[in-house]
Amino acid sequence: MDYKYKIEQLRRQDLLRTVRDRGCPAGRVINIDGRDLLNFSSNDYLGLASSPALIGAAKQALMDYGHGAGASRLLSGGTTVHALLEEKTAAFKGAEKAIMFNSGYAANTGAIPALTDDNSAIFSDALNHASIVDGCRLSAAKRYIYRHNDLDHLESLMKNSPCAHKLVITESVFSMDGDVADIYNLNLLCNKYNAALYIDDAHATGVIGQGRGALAHFNVTPNDNIIQMGTYSKALGSIGGFVAGSEAVIDYLFNTARSLIYSTALPAAAAAASLAAIEYVEAHSELPAELPAELPAELPAELPDLIVKLHKTIDNCRRMLRSKGFTVTLDNTPIIPIVFDSTAETLHISGRLLEMGVYAPAIRPPTVKQPRIRISISAFHEDEDIEHLVNALSEAIR
Ligand SMILES: Cc1ncc(COP(=O)(O)O)c(C=O)c1O
């Protein structure tokens, strides 16, 4: 294959990707190529990634267990910290048991093929993440794609499927659109057709349901037919993925998930940092009800500080963008897409933002069909950051 030619083709189509590494911790301001930029590109929604709590926990585990795990989890790669994290994750998600993977990507590509066989049918939302798509590709199951969030379409596909074992897969908060799947009605539909529901809670964990994710947000009680996948790498500020579910599902995954069995375990330091992050969210999530859509100016003292700060900032940003004429949905999530007609235009806007000190890269095909600036809000943003972002965006599109 002529790779140089292929690269040139990508360049001509405005689809060539460049790596921009930072020379500082992840956070509100990042230094790229010697410039300090306001960071609107991070999934570190609570700003925990560089927090003393996570760094302290990781440091301690590094001293106690060393760095590299040395082997896969099923050999000698795991530690008591890994086991503790799985216990904590299960309790946090209201599940019987949990299993950790090296990443969210490894969780989806390991769990989906392991949980299905050639007698299964997978029903996957059209906008599901690439890791779900790849997990489905690795599965022997028959695959059906239903229109994004279209439960009528899903039902018509399920009704006509001859397969006895059915698995519905959806993200809860969609990674590129920031909208929320109707988990309440998806659960009812799955019950009706005796299907299992696999929820990718990557962008919901730490964000909605007082940080516990989609089931808590929709007030759905976990049961044996619900499998909750998630990642420690986004709002939890760490690294690694997980699946939480019934004891049988998790025990089966320990025996069959190839991305777990054939890959060296994460260092204990990573598990310790994830544990500290869940402890943070848990300590702040003994709340009576879901956060209201419009938060009151005076917040009740028992509300979790970073989660509340995040939601206030999201609310503020979405409202300011709307007031400047941008099309922004009512979803109360930190992912705000500003969609453009062409990749060239999106790249131009992203470049203009960079000139104005804002880092919000263009997201292009094949990641998404319609190119966009994906604004990502974090609890570390201040009101003046949001103001600067919205003014810069207005200026850039002129
Ligand atoms: C919906 C979704 N699932 C899974 C993943 C993979 O998670 P990780 O980054 O931990 O591999 C991502 C990451 O982008 C995601 O957005």
Q: What is the pLDDT of residues 177-222, one digit of tens each?
A: 999 999 999 999 999 999 999 999 999 999 999 999 999 999 999 9
Alpha helix positions (H), the chain: 3-12, 52-65, 80-92, 104-114, 130-137, 151-159, 183-192, 214-218, 247-256, 258-261, 268-283, 305-323, 343-355, 383-396
Band (pLDDT 50/70/90 cuts) for residue 304 is: low
200 has catalytic annotation: yes
Nearest CA to ligand 1 atom 5: 104
Verify whether residue 171 is a known catalytic residue. yes
What's the confidence (pLDDT) of residue 288? 41
Ramachandran quadrant class, 194 (left: phi over 0; alpha: psi -120 to 50; beta: rest): left
**Beta carbons of 348 and 337 less than 8 angstroms apart:** no
What CA–CA distance (Å, rounded) separates 247 from 263? Answer: 23
Average pLDDT across the chain, whole number:
93
Reply yes or no: is the peptide bond before residue 334 cis, omega within 30 of 0. no
Distance 111 CA to ligand 1 centre (A): 14
pLDDT at 305: 83
Distance (Å) from CA 105 to ligand 1 centroid? 6
284 is catalytic: no
**Per CATH, which fold does 3-39+292-396 belong to?**
Aspartate Aminotransferase, domain 1 (3.90.1150)
The dihedral formed by the CA atoms of 211, 217, 221 and 224, expressed in degrees to the nearest 10: -70
Choosing from 175, 246, 285, 332, the catalytic residue is 175
Within this chain, domains 3-39+292-396 and 52-283 share the same CATH topology: no
The pLDDT tens digits for 250-290 are 999 999 999 999 999 999 999 999 999 999 998 865 544 44
pLDDT band with cut points at 50, 70 and 90 for residue 302: very low
* Active-site residue, from 43, 149, 332, 350: 43
Q: In which band, very low, low, confident or very high, does the pLDDT at 295 lie, cut at 50, 70 and 90? A: very low
CB within 6 Å of ligand 1 — which residues? 103-105, 108, 129, 131, 171, 175, 200, 202-203, 231, 233, 241
Comparison of pLDDT for 8 and 300, the residue scoring more:
8
Cα–Cα distance, 42 to 86 (Å, whole number): 25
Instruction: Determine which one of 200, 201, 331, 385 is catalytic.
Output: 200
CA-to-CA dists, residue 244 to 86, 272, 273, 280, angstroms: 9, 18, 19, 19
CA of 376 to the centre of ligand 1 (A): 14
CB atoms near residue 326 (< 10 Å): 17
pLDDT for position 18: 87
| Residue pair 132/199 in contact by the 8 Å Cβ criterion | no
Q: At what angle do helices 268-283 and 80-92 cross, to 10 degrees?
A: 30
Residue 134: count of CB within 10 angstroms of its CB: 15
What's the whole-number mean pLDDT along residues 18-29? Answer: 91
The yes-or-no answer on residue 384 being catalytic is no
The full set of domain ranges for the chain reads 3-39+292-396, 52-283
Q: Take residue 214 and report the two structure tokens written for it.
A: 């989609």
Q: Looking at the domain that runs over 52-283, which CATH code has it been given?
A: 3.40.640.10
Q: What digits encode the pLDDT tens for the residues 47-105? A: 999 999 999 999 999 999 999 999 999 999 999 999 999 999 999 999 999 999 999 99
100 backbone dihedrals φ, ψ, rounded to 5°: -100, 150
